[in-house]
Structure 1
Amino acid sequence: MGLSIGIDVGGTKIAAGVVGPDGKIGARTHRDTPADSVDQTAKAIIDAAAELIADHEIEAVGIGAAGFVSADRSTVLFAPNLAWRDEPLGARVGDALKVPVVVENDANAAAWGEFAFGAARDVQDMVCITVGTGIGGGVVLGGEMLRGAHGVGAELGHMRVVPGGHRCGCGARGCWEQYASGRALVREGRAQADSGSLAAAQMLSVCGITDSAELTGPMITTAATQGDPCAVELLDDLGRWLGEGLASIVTLFDPSLIVLGGGVSAAKDLVTKSALVAFERNLPAKANRPHPPFGIAELGNDAGIIGAADLARLEAPEPRQ
């Protein structure tokens, strides 16, 4: 097996790298994401890949993109932060580069990276949860990526946990990511500050700001690591929501390992302790079933590049003539 390229398409940046069969990234490049233009986004992806192909013998290209990807791993059916709607991205990029191209959901790509080369490399059944602005998820069962009949399965962040709860960007109410994500953390922190809470005012001071509108998730995490009581409580509450949702996830998929990534990696015990307590409290038939351990993601921001490249190497169609 030779080299492949992994491309992680974010809302602001397109990151690409040459990945070997050992999961190691060699050459890298990046482009800004022209998120409001389908054509310009595709051009930026092609340019980044072409730059790497010029200096390397490449077998395939894998693209990780947020949103719904068709079952044939070629068409982006819908992307929440980009202008893609039924976009034949795989064919467009493949025609331009003359190499096989596989398109994958970005959370699936990151999960596969951790499965193949990261925290879950020694298991066959795993769930990977990435806690960022929202919640991304990927499921591997029996060594195979779970995608569903139409390619849009494992949207774990949109599992409903509170009927009639907070409105989500997907249009539904009460999705898990509205309670256990960076967005939820900031929303609750700002609400406490705006309520006149003296503890929250102290947290803002620790963060070096006076306006709650300037508060961010990393600020809260930093304040918590410094022992600020309000920030610690906010992360503890996020962990509780995370653990409760994971109890349902384990009931569905019975993994041997749960891998936690994203902001959870930075917060560490400030989130995972309360998540584990809530998980064990809410796991059905908890006295009569195995409890999968929690692991922390190892590949960081490279997981999507590595996973997309490896999936492309494994699943690429025949090259276009």
Structure 2
Amino acid sequence: MTTPQAVRVLNEARALSVLYHNGTMSRADLARALDMTRSTASSLISQLLADGLVVERLDAERGEVVRTGRPGIAISIRPEGAFFLGAEIGVGYVIVVGMDLSARIVARRRVTFAIEGNRPDEVIRLACQLVRAVIADLPDASRIRGLCVTVPGLHDHRGVLLTGPFLGWRNVPVAELVRGEFGDRMPVLSENDANAFAIAEIYASPSDETKDLLCLFMDYGIGAGIVAGGRLFRGRHGYSGEVGHMVVAETGVIHRLDPPGRWENLVGAEAVLERWRQAGGSGATIGSLVQALQDNQRAAWEAAEHWAYWLGRGLASVANVIDPGHVVLGGSVARLYPFVADLVHEALRRHVFEDYQVPSLALARHTKDGPAIGAACLLHQEMLSLDLISRRRERWKVS
């Protein structure tokens, strides 16, 4: 049974969603958009004003010319009305961002940690320290709506990381450990980094192009967020998008995972750096490889061309199955793409089936911090969602 309180919360979410997508609106326009009477909409707006989630503005403030009579009053989202925290635990680094109700990033922090010998509890404690630093950067910590933490690997619905191969983690209760740091006052959820990255891309450019989208996040591991019909596709157990585990060859450049011919053993950061070393180059980061490409070093180009071939070949297998209209490339390794874009397209076209319409490829709009931003966007999306209440109960487990 839907209670009056639940109806009010859902109507507030609807109003905030309309204002977020349309910008400043008159009271009459907002009432029409919500299909409400003016009196019902007025009561709803009064509650949103009292909660500090919206503000009133003169029509003149939004560039409208007032010809006669008193200036009209319009309503817009109050950016400081709510804040959302997104944390990305990557391979050797943590990034935390704070986002306001207008979906603008207002705070950011980053720290690194040693990959070898890392302990999950220590890394999560480090991440929580960074979260506290971001909270201190926000103008009003009392308006924080939640924290979403991303980690590369398989997550179940309870917030447990089942496996994170490149961190060496297994069966880590990420959400539970974070809740242990903050208590019940902070709603917490965890998410796969590639899924969060996909949400960030949808938020960056909501359009027809992003309705059917493959977001490939390439770092040490290779993951994908699959967007179908404008919604994130998770699969039966929430594991969809683990494309890095596709077997595309007999062997890989590295042997991090069995069988060795898995895609991320060929195109992940560790693999491309090892290929560079095999060709006679030297360097420990993707940034140093990019610099070597800019310096036109032969070994760097050999590694990049090998990467381009296997990236295109693997993408063809994914494209043949899910038929994305557009592919977005993000993560540290995506920095190689502009140097060898033609080779990636050639390998992709060569390996898709005959007469297939090859998807377009582009770099992500969020060239850095994509998973952290997407994690914050997930919480923002929850607040503005029509099934807000049920999802809070199911995923946050907050009484």
Q: TM-score range by the shorter chain?
A: 0.7 to 0.9
Asked if structure 1 preserves the Cα contact closer than 8 Å seen for 2:166 and 2:221, the reply is no
1:222 aligns with 2:302: no
Is 2:271 aligned against 1:184?
A: yes
Shift of 1:157: 1.3
In structure 2, the partner of 1:290 is 357
Q: Read off the aligned partner of 1:44 and give its amino acid letter.
A: L
Q: Is 2:78 the counterpart of 1:3? A: no
Summarize the alignment of residues 139-178 of structure 1 with structure 2, pairs less than 5 Å apart.
139-165=226-252, 168-178=255-265
1:49 maps to 2:116: no
In the aligned structure 2, how far is the partner of 1:191 from the partner of 1:134?
A: 20
Pick one of 293, 308, 317 that aligns with 1:239: 308
SS in 1 for 2:190: strand
- Asked which structure has the greater RCO (Cα within 8 Å, sep 6+), the reply is 1
TM-fit CA distance, 1:131: 2.9
**8 Å CA contact retained: 1:236, 1:270:** no
Which residue matches 1:207?
none
Taking the aligned partners of 1:307 and 1:18, their CA distance within structure 2 comes to 11
Shift of 1:115: 2.4
User: Tell me, what secondary structure is at the counterpart of 1:160?
Assistant: coil
CA contact (8 A) 1:76 1:85 kept: yes
Q: Which residue of 2 aligns with 1:136?
A: 223
- What is residue 121 of structure 2 aligned with on the other side? 39
Deviations 1:179-235 (A, max 9, x none): 223323222222232xxxxxxxxxx5xxxxxxx4x4654333322223334432331
Q: Distance in 2 between matches of 1:46 and 1:215?
A: 28
Aligned length, in residue pairs: 300
1:240–1:258 distance in 2 versus 1, CA, 3 Å: same
Q: Residue 250 and residue 185 in structure 1: after superposition, are their counterparts in 2 closer, same or farther (change >3 A)?
A: same
2:149 counterpart residue number: 63
SS of the equivalent of 1:300 reads: coil
Q: 2:95–2:369: 8 Å Cα contact kept in structure 1?
A: no
Q: Which residue of 2 aligns with 1:19?
A: 99
Partner in structure 2 of residue 199 of structure 1:
none
Moved more, 155-164 or 239-248: 155-164
* CA drift at 1:265: 4.2
Q: Please state how far the C-alpha of 1:242 moved relative to its aligned partner.
A: 0.7
Correspondence for 1:77: 162
User: Where does residue 200 of structure 1 map in the other structure?
Assistant: none
1:16-57 deviation line (CA, Å, top 9, x unaligned): 111134442112234554763333333333333344445431
State the Cα RMSD in Å. 2.7
Is residue 118–residue 299 contact of structure 1 (8 Å, CA) maintained in 2? no
- 1:81 and 1:222 map into 2 onto residues whose CA distance is 25
- Which ranges in structure 1 are unaligned for 5 or more consecutive residues? 194-203, 205-211
Give, in whole Å, the separation in 2 of the partners of 1:219 and 1:23. 33
Give yes or no for contact 1:127–1:255 (8 Å, CA) kept in 2: yes
Deviates more, 1:245-254 or 1:89-98: 89-98
Could you tell me which runs of 5 or more consecutive residues in structure 2 were left unpaired when the two chains were aligned: 1-15, 17-81, 383-390
Who wins on radius of gyration, i.e. which is larger?
A: 2
Deviation of the 1:172 alpha carbon: 2.1
Judged with a 3 Å threshold, the aligned counterparts in structure 2 of structure 1 residues 260 and 120 are, in CA distance, closer, same or farther, namely farther
Paired residue type of 2:262 = C
Shift, 1:82, TM fit = 4.0
Query: 302-311 vs 133-142, which deviates more?
Result: 133-142
CA change 1:101–1:108 in 2 (3 A) is same
Find the residue that maps to 1:247 and give its secondary structure: helix
Is the deviation greater in 144-153 or in 104-113? 144-153
Corresponding residue of 1:126: 213
1:60-119 CA distance string (max 9 Å, x none): 21111112110x252222222446432332234235241221100112212221222159
Inter-partner Cα distance in structure 2 for 1:65 and 1:152: 13
Letter in 2 for 1:222: Q
CA distance in 2, matches of 1:121, 1:133: 31
1-side partners of 2:129 and 2:302: how far apart? Answer: 46
CA distance in 2 between counterparts of 1:256 and 1:134 reads 23
TM value normalised by structure 2 = 0.67
Deviation at 1:297, TM superposition (A): 0.9
Residues in 1 aligned to 2:320 and 2:222: alpha-carbon distance in whole angstroms: 18
